[in-house]
Structure 1
């Protein structure tokens, strides 16, 4: 924890919270076709700082994963 669900997934039970300096979050996205069988999960690690955030992940994204 903390968990920050997409707004569409919020419920009355979704806990409130505050992000504070020193927290590290994993921001995950699953990209695939609706109803499809294949996709890719992209994850970035983010450090919350006194002035905002810092991306900790530095592995380059393979452009082939973007489709198109």
Structure 2
């Protein structure tokens, strides 16, 4: 009984590691796409500019 739960834990841990690694691959691909695609960079810059210019100023 104890050995079965240990084996199950090892599989779960391995799946968790694999899932985290897959997430890193996906994040890397998104970053590379962003770097390569000028229209995405421009859209992001436009959105950031809107966000920071429409934000209310803090009281002085």
Identify the structure with the greater helix proportion. Answer: 2
User: TM-score, with normalisation over the residues of structure 1?
Assistant: 0.22
User: TM-score, with normalisation over the residues of structure 2?
Assistant: 0.23
Identify the structure with the greater strand proportion. Answer: 1
